[in-house]
């Protein structure tokens, strides 16, 4: 099925038609939506890293990246890392281990807010305890 959320910025896009606007397409307030058209570093289960621009994703974490450069560790390469340009790539979500962005998230400040599970020092105790 055509469940990829292609984010072309147009509600009139045929891929974003109302017939697909149900559970098949992730909501626009989904965290991944904020990273569309940004460069991502995707680490795969076999230790390869794909660096490219996020074009589309779905609820299974399948990703479509453009302008992808693949990097992998190999003793045969001069610097221990072999790279190759792949262009447009679709990555199955089951192979994704981690995703990070090159841009700093504007919603995240440098401080972590206090909340449940914050370690604090109790009066008279020498070690911090987890609340």
Quick: pLDDT tens for 70-128: 999 988 888 889 999 999 999 999 999 999 998 776 554 445 555 556 555 556 656 55
**Tokens representing residue 12 in the block:** 């009139």
Q: Is residue 34 pLDDT above 60, yes or no?
A: yes
Considering just the CA atoms, what is the radius of gyration of the chain in Å? 20
How far is it, in rounded angstroms, from Cα 119 to Cα 131? 6
How far is it, in rounded angstroms, from Cα 6 to Cα 51? 19
Quick: pLDDT tens for 78-90: 888 999 999 999 9
Q: How large is the average pLDDT for residues 33-62? A: 95
Domain at 5-102: CATH code: 2.30.30.100
Map out the domains of the chain as residue ranges: 5-102
């Amino acid at each position: 099925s055509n469940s990829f959320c292609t984010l072309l910025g147009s509600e009139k896009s045929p891929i974003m038609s109302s017939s697909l606007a149900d559970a098949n397409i992730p909501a626009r307030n989904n965290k991944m939506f904020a990273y569309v058209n940004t460069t991502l570093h995707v680490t795969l289960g076999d230790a390869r890293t794909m660096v490219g621009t996020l074009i589309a994703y779905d609820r299974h974490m399948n990703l479509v990246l453009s302008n992808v450069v693949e990097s992998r560790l190999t003793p045969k390469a001069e610097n221990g890392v072999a790279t190759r340009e792949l262009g447009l790539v679709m990555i199955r979500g089951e192979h994704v281990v981690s995703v990070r962005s090159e841009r700093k998230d504007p919603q995240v400040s440098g401080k972590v807010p206090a909340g449940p599970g914050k370690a604090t020092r109790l009066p008279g105790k020498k070690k911090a305890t987890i609340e």
